[in-house]
Structure 1
Amino acid sequence: MNRSILRRTAVSTALAAVALLIAQDVRAENAASPDYAAIVAAPDRTDADRLTDQRRQPAKMLAFAGVKASMTILDMEASAGYSTELLARTVGPSGKIYAQDSADVIAQHVKDKFDTRAQKPAMKNVVHVVRNYDDPIPPDVSNLDMITFFFSYHDMTYMPVDRAVMNKKMFAALKPGGFLVIADHSAKPGDGASVGKTLHRIEESTLKQEVEAAGFKLVAEGDFLHHPEDPRNMPVFKASVPIDEFVLKYQKPQ
């Protein structure tokens, strides 16, 4: 009888230990997964950014990318900083965002807008990186968790940028297992990289070929910004229908 009681006690103790480990794993996973909807809904975000949210679907984008607290991320062609701020809010004070742009683009288009945004408390963990696109990584930066390139890779096709060099530099800057997340406006099959300046689009297959040539491996594709009603033959800023956009997640092999 005593042995039976001891066996039951041992089994109960083991089951309790297993349950505790499972609960700890669940709590750890929940802690590692930010509430993206709450981040997007933060009351101190601007009305202009909320208007942009309607077409950008930022909660879905952050979830697809897998942005987590404490990450270190390079945001390529940060422009006025819409995505940069969302990334900064998500990685939190223990993370860091490098917001990259070239000196020419800043001077001509976005300096005042980015500088104004940079005063916000949410941007305290952001470092503004002013470097050419084909040499975007500061020499003291390495082992990045993620690089984001949102809706601007097509700009590289009509600017004096060596895209092959740029892609290799991004690959080298990521830690093994790190991610490159790219979204852009879709061009028609056959357009390749020829309509970047006129339509602000790029053919998805062309972008894939260029990025994969640097060593990146495609691990996921998002369909939440696809709009098949878009004929893909008009400039994105003048389109009368929602723009068809592709979202790709690449990984640097371990």
Structure 2
Amino acid sequence: MNRSILRAAASTTLAALALLFADGVRAQTGAAPDYAAIVAAPDRSDADRQTDQRRQPAKMLAFAGVKPGMTILDMEASAGYSTELLARTVGPTGKIYAQDSAAVIERFVKDKFDTRAQKPAMQNVVHVVRNYDDPIPPEVSNLDMITFFFAYHDITYMEVDRAAMNKKMFAALKPGGFLIIADHCAKPGEGVSVGKTLHRIEEATLKQEVEAAGFKLVAEGDFLHHAEDPRDIPVFKAPVPIDEFVLKYQKPQ
């Protein structure tokens, strides 16, 4: 075999090894998935696409830093809108625990989550029916992330020990794991007093409660803030977009 052929073969081999190395580096660095493509998946429902307009899911997933292979607990999953998006993002190598209490399922969700659970995208989801102040199954630990989307205010008017709930979430995360929490803004000074009437909570109050469990605030998202919201209207009756805060907490390493 002449030398030019050998050189060509060697170059081809080196190029292939370089590609393999590059793929390995991308895998190790955990490059962010294409969140917009996940949201645009053609098999998502029209109802979920309507919800997308106010929830900005691609921005939320990016802010949270959800990646393939993660194990995540989705608190108060309700009908599973966010659960499904999380499941699509973590993929078949990841797992989502979708939590809700039996009372809330019976009153508000009924068969909605079970219907959604039949979708292929939900095959990596485990439905967890447990009370909010003890939300994590005993065999579940070292979670990468916990999400709590637009529902913490609901907990404030239920018979729930929120301090115990927050401590359980903290304990279930791995060191360095994240809690992503978003909710509807109340006016300063209102605390939890309008949780049931307006479905809102004061951001400062929520921060105080969560941080008391040991969580450290690492980022705040402004992509759901709406200054035109007077914050004195029930969320489901507001004629303008709702002002909402998004917070990213971390369990210290």
Is the TM value for this pair above 0.5? yes
1:198 matched to 2:197? The reply is yes
- Which residue number in structure 1 is paired with residue 42 of structure 2? 43
Distance 1:170 1:148 in 2: 10
Distance 2:147 2:28 in 1: 23
For residues 228 and 26 of structure 1, do their structure 2 counterparts lie closer, same or farther at Cα, with a shift above 3 Å needed? farther
SS of 1:237's equivalent in the other structure is helix
SS of 2:236's equivalent in the other structure is coil
SS of 1:246's equivalent in the other structure is strand
Deviations 1:14-53 (A, max 9, x none): xxxxx99995686347753110000000000000000000
Name the amino acid aligned to 2:84. Answer: E
For residues 187 and 36 of structure 1, do their structure 2 counterparts lie closer, same or farther at Cα, with a shift above 3 Å needed? same
1:143 matched to 2:142? The reply is yes
Distance 2:112 2:105 in 1: 9
Distance 1:203 1:104 in 2: 25
Q: Deviation at 1:131? A: 0.1
Question: What's the TM-score once normalised by structure 1's chain length?
Answer: 0.90
Name the amino acid aligned to 1:210. Answer: E
Runs of 4+ in 1 over 4 A off after TM superposition: 19-26
Question: What's the TM-score once normalised by structure 2's chain length?
Answer: 0.90
- Which residue number in structure 2 is paired with residue 63 of structure 1? 62
For residues 29 and 227 of structure 1, do their structure 2 counterparts lie closer, same or farther at Cα, with a shift above 3 Å needed? farther
- Which residue number in structure 1 is paired with residue 101 of structure 2? 102
User: What pairs with 1:1-254 in structure 2 (closer than 5 Å)?
Assistant: 27-28=26-27, 32-254=31-253
Preserved contact between residue 68 and residue 91 of structure 1 (Cα < 8 Å): yes
Q: Deviation at 1:111? A: 2.3
Distance 1:229 1:26 in 2: 45
Q: Deviation at 1:78? A: 0.0
For residues 29 and 239 of structure 1, do their structure 2 counterparts lie closer, same or farther at Cα, with a shift above 3 Å needed? farther
Preserved contact between residue 32 and residue 69 of structure 1 (Cα < 8 Å): no
- Which residue number in structure 2 is paired with residue 3 of structure 1? none
Q: Any gaps of 5 or more consecutive residues in structure 1?
A: 1-18
The number of residues matched between the two structures is: 237
Q: Deviation at 1:219? A: 0.2
Q: Deviation at 1:109? A: 1.0
Distance 1:173 1:181 in 2: 14
- Which residue number in structure 1 is paired with residue 15 of structure 2? none
Preserved contact between residue 186 and residue 232 of structure 1 (Cα < 8 Å): yes
Distance 1:20 1:89 in 2: 27
Q: Deviation at 1:143? A: 0.2
Q: Any gaps of 5 or more consecutive residues in structure 2?
A: 1-17
SS of 1:32's equivalent in the other structure is coil
Q: Deviation at 1:63? A: 0.2
Distance 2:232 2:26 in 1: 48
Q: Percent identity between the aligned chains?
A: 87
RMSD: 1.8
Distance 1:95 1:70 in 2: 4
Deviations 1:136-180 (A, max 9, x none): 000000000000000000001000000000000000000000000
Name the amino acid aligned to 1:245. Answer: E
Name the amino acid aligned to 1:53. Answer: D
